[in-house]
Amino acid sequence: MSNDVKYHVLLKGLNAGHALPKPPVSILLGPTGVNLEKFCRHFNEWSKNMEGTIDVGVIIFNDLSYAILPKKQYLDFKKNEMSEILSTSNLYKQFKEKEDKLFHSHR
């Protein structure tokens, strides 16, 4: 599995154990290139012991493999990934420098 993330998709209100390759799954995952029937089989197996509707995050990698995560884990992953991106970006560094100058000048 490639470690390079290609897409992030949040699927809301899927019936646990009963996903089908039609909307909303097809609308959200179709453009990513993921095999919808395979995804639905995996999702249904993954959620077979759950009840009701659930929200899940899907992380799709460059090789079109994917990970299905409960919504909270998915959002934690996104938050950590964004923190890494921001901590290495020039925009974040510029913001921090301005923030530090402003903070230190008011002491």
As a whole number of angstroms, the distance between CA 75 and CA 56 comes to 10
> Are 4 and 66 within 8 A, CB to CB?
no
pLDDT in tens, 25-69: 999 999 999 999 999 999 999 999 999 999 999 999 999 999 999
Q: Is a pLDDT exceeding 90 seen at residue 11? A: yes
Of 51 and 84, which is predicted with more confidence?
51
Mean pLDDT of 9-14: 94
As a whole number of angstroms, the distance between CA 87 and CA 81 comes to 10
Confidence (pTM): 0.70
Q: Is a pLDDT exceeding 70 seen at residue 93? A: no
Angle at 29 between CA 26 and CA 33, to 5 degrees: 110
List the alpha helices (DSSP H) in the chain: 25-29, 36-46, 71-88, 90-105
Query: What pLDDT band is residue 1 in, cutting at 50, 70 and 90?
Result: very low
> Are 45 and 70 within 8 A, CB to CB?
no
User: What's the chain's average pLDDT?
Assistant: 83
